């Protein structure tokens, strides 16, 4: 049943109860999967060909817009497809002013693909106060942010940058994958576009790829829908169905993951094999106050620096029982990643150094397992480093 807006349903209710199932006369409780590539001309819902729309896309777009509390959402085949859709809306010669610590594949896409079409990028530290002056000075066509950043969990003051950008009518994109709309709402902070890789927390089960762009602006919704069909960036109906199903437990999953992460972040710092722990809602985070203001909770990613060289750091990662050494994040299962040789391997030594990514750094994506088991697993292997 469609949630009654006047009832003002909460987030968990909205995650479970969708709008239309597009199969009204069947009594189906779960929406069906519509694998059809094509639709009969003149059907009442206006579907024609799946590259430009499908019932499973619309069901997912509706629930994502409801979580984000915004008007529009467009779904894509992956987070990278969503990034491609936004970048493709710009013109040759346009400048994107980027946070210097963006997701690695965003950097690769801008520097190795869109640069060939003369899309220009400039990389700056948006946590630095003089970044506001650079917005005036450079007058970019777009600003691209990510907060918290990966893997060092730097927090960027989204509202302050959006306020400045809006003076010059510069659209701001926020990659919100690490937080999701449950922990941080970029559009409420003034962003034009809120981008998410639904592969991560939104789906939550590491079994589908997807991306989405949310906006309040019909102009941008039209551009995203155009990019979906014109560039062939559409997802598969089956993946949309899986992600829609995953969302039903998103609030539950995330709340358990955040509880586990906060408790682990506070615990890990006490171990003598740990040099430091970085977590947005940990008191010693350099931007703790801003994190508290901007986010509903600190999320479920923790970055730690071990007192160990690369070989021993690797052994630590490999010997954990419940933290699988793998890229990606946000699933119900805990993962550990060595950014210097995995997610950030393609960066130059110099860039890694500048960003603070070294051989002793590990990133934890905390899952939904029992806290005691995760704690015991980490403590056992940390003690092996002594
Ligand atoms: C994973 C990720 C992406 C890319 O998403 P895919 O679904 O893997 O294409 C973009 N941004 C961030 C922050 C991510 O973690």
b/e per residue, 197-207, with b = 16+ CB within 10 A? bbbbbbbbebe
Q: Could you tell me the distance, in angstroms and rounded to a whole number, from the CA of residue 94 to the centre of ligand 1?
A: 23
Global pTM reads 0.96
Q: Could you tell me the distance, in angstroms and rounded to a whole number, from the CA of residue 7 to the centre of ligand 1?
A: 35
Mutate-to-test residue for ligand 1 from 75, 105, 337, highest number of ligand atoms within 8 A of CB: 105
Of the three residues 247, 263, 280, the one that is the final residue of a domain is 247
Is 2 among the domain residues?
no
- 175 flagged as catalytic: yes
Does the beta carbon of 147 sit less than 6 angstroms from any atom of ligand 1? no
Q: Could you tell me the distance, in angstroms and rounded to a whole number, from the CA of residue 273 to the centre of ligand 1?
A: 31
**pLDDT at residue 135, rounded to an integer:** 95
Which residue's CA is the closest to the ligand 1 atom numbered 1? 197
**pLDDT at residue 166, rounded to an integer:** 97
Which residue's CA is the closest to the ligand 1 atom numbered 10? 79
Q: Residue 108, Cα to own-chain centre: how many angstroms?
A: 17
**pLDDT at residue 6, rounded to an integer:** 75
**pLDDT at residue 72, rounded to an integer:** 98
Q: Are 320 and 336 in contact (CB under 8 A)?
A: yes
Nearest to 250 by CA among 308, 300, 214: 300
- 51 flagged as catalytic: yes
**pLDDT at residue 4, rounded to an integer:** 61
Write out residues in the chain with pLDDT < 50, as ranges.
1
Catalytic residue among 14, 164, 185, 200: 200
Which residue's CA is the closest to the ligand 1 atom numbered 2? 197
Q: For residue 18, give the H/E element and its range.
A: none
Edge-to-edge, what's the strand order for the sheet holding 324-325?
Answer: 274-278, 301-306, 361-365, 335-337, 324-325
Domain hosting residue 361, numbered range = 251-383
Is 197 among the domain residues?
yes
Does the beta carbon of 76 sit less than 6 angstroms from any atom of ligand 1? no
Does the beta carbon of 104 sit less than 6 angstroms from any atom of ligand 1? no
Q: In the numeric block, which tokens belong to residue 284?
A: 């010693």
- 103 flagged as catalytic: yes
Domain total in the chain = 2
Same domain, yes or no: 142 and 79:
yes
Q: In the numeric block, which tokens belong to residue 294?
A: 């901007």
Of the three residues 213, 247, 281, the one that is the final residue of a domain is 247
CATH of the domain at 201: 3.40.640.10
Of the three residues 214, 247, 280, the one that is the final residue of a domain is 247
Does the beta carbon of 85 sit less than 6 angstroms from any atom of ligand 1? no
- 312 flagged as catalytic: no
């Amino acid at each position: 049943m469609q949630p009654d807006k006047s009832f003002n349903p909460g987030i968990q209710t909205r995650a479970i109860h969708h709008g239309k199932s597009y199969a009204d006369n069947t009594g189906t409780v779960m929406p069906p999967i519509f694998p059809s590539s094509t639709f009969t001309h003149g059907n009442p819902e206006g579907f024609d060909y799946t590259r430009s729309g499908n019932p499973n896309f619309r069901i997912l777009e509706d629930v994502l817009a409801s979580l984000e509390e915004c008007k529009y959402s467009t779904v894509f085949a992956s987070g990278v497809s969503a990034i491609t859709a936004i970048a493709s809306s710009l013109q040759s010669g346009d400048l994107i002013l980027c946070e210097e610590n963006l997701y690695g594949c965003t950097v690769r896409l801008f520097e190795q693909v869109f640069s060939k079409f003369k899309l220009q990028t400039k990389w700056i530290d948006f946590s630095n106060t003089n970044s506001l002056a650079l917005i005036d000075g450079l007058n970019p066509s777009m600003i691209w942010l990510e907060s918290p950043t990966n893997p060092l969990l730097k927090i960027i003051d989204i509202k302050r940058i959006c306020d400045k950008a809006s003076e010059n009518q510069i659209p701001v994109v926020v990659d919100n994958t690490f937080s999701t709309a449950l922990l941080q709402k970029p559009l409420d902070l003034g962003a034009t576009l809120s981008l998410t890789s639904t592969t991560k927390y939104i789906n939550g089960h590491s079994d589908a790829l997807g991306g989405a762009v949310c906006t309040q602006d019909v102009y941008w919704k039209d551009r995203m829908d155009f990019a979906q069909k014109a560039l062939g960036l559409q997802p598969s109906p089956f993946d949309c169905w899986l992600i829609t199903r995953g969302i039903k437990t998103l609030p539950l999953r995330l709340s358990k993951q955040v509880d586990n992460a906060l408790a682990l972040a506070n615990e890990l710092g006490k171990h003598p094999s740990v040099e430091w722990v970085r977590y947005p809602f940990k008191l010693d985070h350099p931007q703790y106050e801003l994190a508290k203001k901007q986010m509903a909770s600190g999320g479920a990613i923790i970055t730690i620096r071990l007192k160990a060289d690369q070989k021993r750091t690797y052994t630590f990662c490999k010997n954990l029982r419940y933290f699988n050494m793998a890229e990606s994040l946000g699933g119900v299962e805990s993962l550990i990643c060595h950014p210097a040789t995995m997610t950030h391997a393609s960066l130059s030594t110099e860039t890694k150094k500048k960003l603070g990514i070294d051989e002793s750094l590990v990133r934890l994506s905390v899952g939904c397992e029992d806290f005691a088991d995760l704690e015991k697993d980490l403590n056992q292997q940390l003690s092996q480093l002594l």
